[in-house]
Amino acid sequence: MKITDIRFALLEVPLKTPFKTALRTVNEIKDIIVIVETDSGHIGYGEAPATAAITGDTLGSIVETIKSEMKPRLIGRDISNLNEITEIIQGSIMKNYNAKAAVEIAIYDLFAQLYGAPLYKILGGGEPTLSTDITISIDYIDKMVEDSLKAVELGFDILKVKVGKDIGLDMDRVRAIDAAVKGKALIRLDANQGWTAKGAVNALRSLEDSGIILELVEQPVRAEDLDGMKYITERVVTPVMADESSFGPREVIELIKMRAADIINIKLMKAGGISKAIKIADIAATYGVECMIGCMLESSISVSAAAHVAVAKSNIITKVDLDGPSLCQYDPVVCGVKFNNSEITISDSPGLGIKSVKNLQFLDV
Ligand code: MG
């Protein structure tokens, strides 16, 4: 099974409700789909969104990076040489993690197809079901309470609540949501870098004192402020999770050694693909640090890949935040992973099991 071509398409899917964080508002998923073709007729699919504010990647940079830096080195390579191929991808250019992730996802899809097994089995196996949380976008309090109650009605028992704009108002948000869903759902808070270290300690301690138990608080301060992360982690009972502060294996080792977070959020786009995500999970497991698997605004192609990794590494990836597909108005992808609100189930179809992708707009590059 040799690589014969790499093609690109745009996939746009409208969201059910606007996705709002402390940093941005988004109305649709708009991702680059990477299609890797082989001489055996097998096709591998990959996907990456633009996350300029987090990784620096844009839709244009993803396509250009793959086209000029990876494609020429990959054409003709045999899929059975997985380690060689991932090294080529990782060594092709500095950073550009989303581009690397998109290509790796397609390569791993093909590698598992080569052996006729679903990807999670090739990665070591596991129980092929996961339960995900859902994001509650930052908004007026009444709207956030309403969205939370709707999510609970749909069967979600963990809510990932976006905060991080005004810490006083954020605490009012948390209190109102907690009062509405107490006993029915756990709350994860994601501050998306919006707080100060001292403000976070103050606010979290006051929540703790009033008996509100958060499952965790994610990225309370700026990505590069590891001292701030450490300051909070040392002073609150609520577990602190690093998201934007943790990219690849090196940063994760530094975070863990500094004790700057209790939990690591692994995303394929930050890590630069599946090979690196596996490394991070193994490093975290070595130190006994739990992980979450997360996603950006992605559709079922790359989120499926993340689900396969989560199943295979469920010894240490104990928390799942893969709500991308359930935020979409419809799922354009027919694949081996079923996203049914909080339930994620992986079938036995080979690779990622992608049968078709609707609405692909092929790019002539
Ligand atoms: Mg986050």
Rounded to an integer, what distance in angstroms lies between the CA atom of residue 27 and that of residue 19?
Answer: 6
Amino acid identity for residue 155 in this structure: G
Q: Are residues 238 and 351 in the same domain?
A: yes
Residue 333 CA to its chain's centroid (Å): 18
CATH number at residue 82: 3.30.390.10
Active-site positions? Answer: 162, 267
In terms of domains, do 177 and 315 share one?
yes
CA 107 to chain centre: 18
Report CA(243)–ligand 1 centroid distance (Å): 5
Cα 122 from chain centroid? 21
Q: Which tens digit of pLDDT belongs to each residue from 171-210? A: 999 999 999 999 999 999 999 999 999 999 999 999 999 9
Comparing CA positions, the residue from 20, 4, 184 lying closest to residue 78 is 4
Q: How far is the CA of 312 from the centre of ligand 1 (A)?
A: 22
What is the tally of structural domains in the chain?
2
Q: What is the pLDDT of residue 165?
A: 87
Mean pLDDT over 157-173 rounds to 96
Cα–Cα distance measured from residue 255 to residue 104, given in angstroms and rounded to the nearest whole number: 25
Q: For residue 26, report the distance from its CA to the centre of ligand 1, in Å.
A: 15
25 and 161 housed in the same domain: no
Looking at the structure, tell me whether residues 90 and 214 fall in a common domain: no
Burial of 60 (0-12, 13-18, 19+ CB in 10 A): exposed
pLDDT band at 21 (very low <50, low <70, confident <90, very high): confident
Question: Do 221 and 340 fall into the same domain?
Answer: yes
pLDDT of 236 reads 98
Are 7 and 153 part of one and the same domain? no
Are 128 and 60 within one domain? Answer: no
272-328 pLDDT tens trace: 999 999 999 999 999 999 999 999 999 999 999 999 999 999 999 999 999 999 999
DSSP letters spanning 104-138: HHHHHHHHHHHTTSBHHHHTT----EEE--EEE--
Please give the distance, rounded to the nearest whole angstrom, from the Cα atom of residue 364 to the centre of ligand 1.
34
Predicted confidence (pLDDT) at residue 18 exceeds the cutoff of 90: yes
Return the closest-CA partner of residue 295 out of 130, 157, 60.
130
Question: How would residue 22 be classed by pLDDT, with cut points 50, 70 and 90?
Answer: confident
Q: What are phi and psi of 241, to 5 degrees?
A: -115, 135
The domain of 212 spans 121-356
Q: How close is the Cα of 183 to the center of ligand 1, in Å?
A: 24
208-218 residue pLDDT tens: 999 999 999 99
Q: Do 149 and 253 reside in the same domain of the chain?
A: yes
DSSP 79-98: TT-HHHHHHHHHHSSSS-HH
The answer on 154 and 43 residing in a single domain is no
Say whether both 201 and 285 belong to one domain: yes
**Domain containing 195 — which CATH number?**
3.20.20.120
Same domain, 147 and 54: no
96 and 227 within one domain: no
- Give the C-alpha separation, 137 to 212, whole Å: 20
Cα(58) to centroid(ligand 1), Å: 19
